[in-house]
Structure 1
Amino acid sequence: MELQKELPDIFETFGEIRRNSFMVAKNQKEKDIPLIGVFCTYFPQELALAMGASTVSLCASSDETIDDAEQDLPRNLCPLIKSSYGFAKTDKCPFFYFSDLVIGETTCDGKKKMYEYLSEFKPVHVMELPNSQSDDGFKLWKNEIIKLKEVLEEKFNTTISEDDIKKAIVIKNNERKSLKEFYELGKLDPVPITGTDIFKVLNGTTFEFNKESIPNNLNTLINKIKEEYELSPKYEKKPRILITGCPLGTATEKVIKAIEENGAYVVAFENCSGAKAVDELVDESNPDIYDALAKKYLSIGCSCMTPNPNRIKLLDKMIDEYKVDAVIDVILTACHTYSVETLSIKRFVNSKKNIPYMSIETDFSISDIGQINTRMAAFIEML
């Protein structure tokens, strides 16, 4: 089919965004456009956008620099934390190198202690994230967002107006809507595209500096996929898998490939790489913009929250809407909050949704690919 030849090129374009954005970051520095490096979806990007700054996800999904990180950090630490620190320490991450400021959040103990060392290489501002989505937690987070706005104004000698924040909220909401429309293609049965391709696009957009261009780019891709699907679906029906758990990066793409090379398709990503970050919009009708931002970002169902009902709520909805046959929970080694939470997720998936569940613990190396493939083949055969 004609589209079958075109699609890989389109997907590769998104995959190349990260490589191309290295040069874009350099060009931005030459034009004195501020660049803010971030690690987590809790960072309210609207504030950076409102002051004309760009936001970029920092390198943190490869084992390339973990040996360097382990010279300073414990070996039995989450690979994402070690990778983050290692890229900063070795200057192998162009995004970190060009960043004027790095924003962190107290999502877990390992990260917040790592930020102390990270500040030796680059200015770092850490937002104090509450442990729960309580009323007191909300007040704390709203104050942290206002404090961040003041930090940005002082750091970059600028003024961030409420009107500019409102405009940025609309831009980010449009981006979220287009991302959601794209990954919801996974609701179709049979699937119109593979989970590998869905992930490639979602991951690629995190390295796109021009947020206003994302909806048009995605709409072009969505329309092309739909047109071809209406003519003739090219993928057969197979078991439908939802991935939850820790955020995925290029190194953990091996899990998606293991699922799809052993007889199933990944149709949904509930984690930070997928729906968790963009499922809810900022309320544009709320006159208190800081209240609106705090409500949206604090609603993210991360395992660092206790209790964490919003993760269950989103999982419940997605399992039904995507007609999921099984759930796979991807846990990064030594990620204690997600690891402990596997019990409650298993109970919910098995008892409440009556479908199979499996957790996979992995890191950023390739040493466990054989083991993952073996487990996945047995699990999918059972389905």
Structure 2
Amino acid sequence: MKLQTELPAVFEEFAEARRNGFLAVKKIKDQNVPVIGVFCGYFPQEVAMAMGAAIVGLCAFSDETIAEAEKDLPRNLCPLIKSSYGFGKTDKCPYFYFSDLVVGETTCDGKKKMYEYLGEIKPVYVMELPNCQSEEGLKLWKKEIIRLKETLEKKFGVTITEEAIKEAIVVKNKERKALKEFYQLSKYDPVPMLGQDLYKVMMGTGFEFNRVLIPEKLDDIRKKVLAEYKEEKKYSKKPRILITGCPIGGATEKVIKAIEDNGAVVVAFESCGGAKTVEDLVDESNPDVYEALAEKYLAIGCSCMTPNPNRIKLLDRMIDEYQVDGVVDMILTACHTYNVETLSIKRFVNDKKEKSYISLETDFSTSDIGQINTRMAAFIEML
């Protein structure tokens, strides 16, 4: 029994949502709906949702504009930062073009300095993210969320009520639950879908601007995938891989393809765009909505946090739940925080979980595809 080699129509729907997002955001602008451009999973979406704004991700994953970005930014900088800035500078990104406000967070040094230049092109607001998930850090992040609310109110001439935030929390939690139920299908062994298809759906949900519709769409595709899986046993058992590390998208999806072209299957994504921002819900029972949001978002296990125990906790759970055979740690060139963490992740995966581990440093070019395939083939053969 072989894994599917063609993208099923059910996954194509979400791939189309990603491709057609440009048209969708223009339609939103034509309806005078505010558009907020964001760069990070730490952004508390519920605050913007409470004022009826659409939220678009501005992280770019192509090398198309990097040459233009390098006229202003250092060459030895993370390609995601250069690409994102380049698309804004060259006006080649409709999401950036249609954004009324761009919101960043003080995550890595490269991003927060890049925002200074980006602010010369478009209104940019930067939230001060604590570097530590401590009690004092939580207090600061709560204040920052309130400051964000007040900034949005002033800029757009609206009032954001706590009741509206509570309603947005419920909507967003339903989206997270539906996404979890969908990607947890990969706990089956053998799997019901390729990691490439799984990731297309996870990325595609970010380009559905009516968040209320997402749970139903995800539930529909989950039922279709499960029904097909039960009716047509055409999947063979393969080594099971979890991907962790930097955000994946666009050019870096070559890593997923290399893994699956060389005989394994990606069953889980701990990284940004995967479980990292989805697994934990906002506490709907907490009467203090700002505290509830601060607790949920600050708990995200990103390498910009020192220390970063929550990444280890999530990896620990996912390695067991998804019956993982090996972990691939995908690092973007010059992403120093994730690169430094490879040692601690390797120690944890090898010593504590007794699983195979490999770190893979790459960028948005295609020049290393051959090398990536060679390394993945060797890694998977070892499994």
Confirm whether residue 177 of structure 1 aligns to residue 177 of structure 2.
yes
The answer (yes or no) to whether the contact 1:241–1:325 under 8 Å persists in 2 is yes
Q: Which position in structure 2 is the counterpart of 1:229?
A: 229
Find the aligned partners of 1:90 and 1:145 in 2 and give their Cα distance.
Answer: 31
Contact 1:59–1:95 under 8 Å retained in 2: no
Provide the identity percentage: 72
Q: Secondary structure at the match of 1:206?
A: helix
How far is the alpha carbon of 1:32 from its aligned partner? 1.0
- Range with greater deviation from structure 2 (15-24 or 191-200): 15-24
Instruction: Provide the C-alpha distance between the structure 1 equivalents of 2:6 and 2:88, rounded to a whole number of angstroms.
Output: 37
> Which position in structure 2 is the counterpart of 1:338?
338
1:26-45 equivalence runs, <5 A:
26-45=26-45
Distance 1:11 1:47, change over 3 A: same
Instruction: Label 1:260 to 1:222 Cα distance change in 2 as closer, same or farther (>3 A).
Output: same
* CA distance, structure 2, for counterparts of residue 64 and residue 11 of structure 1: 26
Task: Give the equivalent residue in structure 2 for 1:163.
Answer: 163
1:12-31 mapped onto 2 (5 Å cutoff): 12-31=12-31
After superposition, what is the alpha-carbon deviation per residue over 1:24-80, rounded to whole angstroms, capped at 9, x for unaligned?
Answer: 211221211000001100000001110010001115111110001001000000000
CA contact (8 A) 2:59 2:80 kept: no
Code of the residue aligned with 1:141 in structure 2: it is: W
1:319 aligned counterpart, secondary structure: helix
Deviation per CA, 1:106-158: give whole Å up to 9, x if none: 10000000000000110000000000000111111000000000000001000
The residue that corresponds to 2:187 in the other structure is 187
Q: CA deviation at 1:250?
A: 1.4
| Aligned counterparts of 2:74 and 2:273: Cα–Cα separation in 1 | 26
Residue 261 of structure 2 corresponds to: 261
The amino acid of 2:203's aligned partner reads N
- TM-score scaled to structure 1, two decimals? 0.98
Gaps of 5+ in 2: none
Deviations along 1:282-305, one digit per CA (max 9) or x if unpaired, are 000000000000000000000000
Structure 2 counterpart of 1:63: 63
Counterpart residue number, 1:77: 77
Specify the SS of the correspondent of 2:207.
Answer: coil
Any runs of at least 4 consecutive aligned residues in structure 1 with deviations exceeding 4 A, and if so which? Answer: 4-7
**C-alpha deviation, 1:187, in angstroms:** 0.4
Give the superposition deviation at 1:20.
1.7
What whole-Å deviation, never above 9, does each CA across 1:308-358 have from its counterpart, x for those lacking one? 000000000000000000100000000000000000000000000001100
- Distance in 2 (CA, whole Å) between partners of 1:158 and 1:280 is 29
1:298 aligns with 2:295: no
What TM-score, normalized to structure 2? 0.98
Q: Secondary structure at the match of 1:330?
A: strand
8 Å CA contact 1:176, 1:279 repeated in 2: yes
Aligned to 2:220: 220
**Superposed, which structure 2 residues align to 1:334-373 within 5 Å?**
334-373=334-373
**Alignment partners' CA distance in 1, 2:147 and 2:233:** 51
Distance 1:25 1:192 in 2: 32
Q: CA deviation at 1:229?
A: 1.3
- Give the corresponding residue for 2:243: 243
SS at the partner of 2:249?
coil
Change (3 A) 1:185 1:333: same
Is contact 2:7–2:197 with CA below 8 Å preserved after alignment? no
> Which residue in the other structure is 2:382 paired with?
382
Preserved CA contact (<8 Å) 1:190 1:233: no
Q: Cα deviation per residue 1:225-270 (whole Å; 9 max; x = unaligned)?
A: 1111112322100100000000101111000000000010000000
Deviation of residue 6 (structure 1)? 10
Contact 1:59 1:87 in 2 (8 A): no
- Distance in 1 separating the partners of 2:207 and 2:59: 10
- Paired with 1:255 and 1:307, the residues of 2 have a C-alpha distance of 28
Q: Distance in 2 between matches of 1:244 and 1:19?
A: 25
Secondary structure at 1:284 match in 2 = coil
CA distance, structure 1, for counterparts of residue 348 and residue 19 of structure 2: 40
- Quote the residue 1:111 is aligned against: 111
1: CA distance between counterparts of 2:314 and 2:90? 38
**Which deviates the most, 176-185 or 20-29?**
20-29
> Is the CA contact (8 Å cut-off) linking 1:326 and 1:357 kept in structure 2?
yes
Q: CA offset at residue 99 of structure 1? A: 0.3
Deviations along 1:162-188, one digit per CA (max 9) or x if unpaired, are 110000000000000011111111100
Question: What is the SS of the residue equivalent to 1:87?
Answer: helix
The structural deviation recorded for 1:23 is 1.4
Shift of 1:7: 6.3
Aligned to 1:200: 200
Give the total of aligned pairs.
Answer: 381
Letter in 1 for 2:108: C
What's the counterpart of residue 277 of structure 1? 277
Where structure 1 has 5 or more consecutive residues not aligned to the other structure, the ranges are none
The aligned residue for residue 145 of structure 1 is: 145
